Amino acid sequence: MSSSEYYFELSANGEQTSFEMVDGVSTEPALKHALLPGDHPFKYRLPSLPKSDRIILKKGKAQPGSRIMEWFGRPNEDNVAPEKSRVILCLKDSSGKPLMEWTLHNAYPMSHHTQKVDSKLPSTVIDDLEVGYSFYTFSKR
């Protein structure tokens, strides 16, 4: 990976892959406005499930035969829903210490873009992976 102070690690299908950037994650609960029944002018802000239903992981590398890349590479024939899995996304510092963790429930592959594998390089460069999910849980480490 790069010499950044932080990186993201995606754990799925029994393996981990590191990425430099992620779009679509949050540490804040989504808030919705609710007006309770009755004759009063008060609106309440209540926590709800996050509005985003996908994340995009950018600038990563995968080893040859990666199970994560196989999961993304399976053809979607006859409009069959993709295989869903529990996926863990972890923010780590440069020493590998976990700082925050998102567990994506019912996660599924949406799209991916990789660079052609150079026979001199032992890994595949991942431009981006897009992962959909039903909801996530969040914890600080």
Neighbours of 139 (CB within 10 A): 11
Q: Are strands 15-23 and 6-12 parallel, antiparallel or unpaired?
A: antiparallel
Nearest to 11 by CA among 124, 87, 81: 87
pLDDT in tens, 35-81: 656 666 666 665 555 556 889 999 998 887 888 888 887 656 556 67
pTM, full prediction: 0.74
Identify the pLDDT of residue 19: 94
Compute the distance between CA of residue 72 and CA of residue 80 in angstroms, rounded to an integer.
Answer: 14
pLDDT in tens, 69-112: 888 876 565 566 778 999 999 999 999 999 999 999 999 999 88
Residue type, 135: F
Compute the distance between CA of residue 40 and CA of residue 24 in angstroms, rounded to an integer.
Answer: 37
Identify the pLDDT of residue 124: 81
- How much is the mean pLDDT over the chain? 80
22-27: average pLDDT: 76
Q: Which two tokens stand for residue 94?
A: 């440069």
Q: CA-CA distances (angstroms) from residue 23 to 39, 52, 54, 129?
A: 42, 10, 9, 10
pLDDT in tens, 6-23: 999 999 988 999 999 999
| CA 70 from centre of chain | 17
Q: Which backbone phi and psi does 76 adopt, to 5 degrees?
A: -95, 85
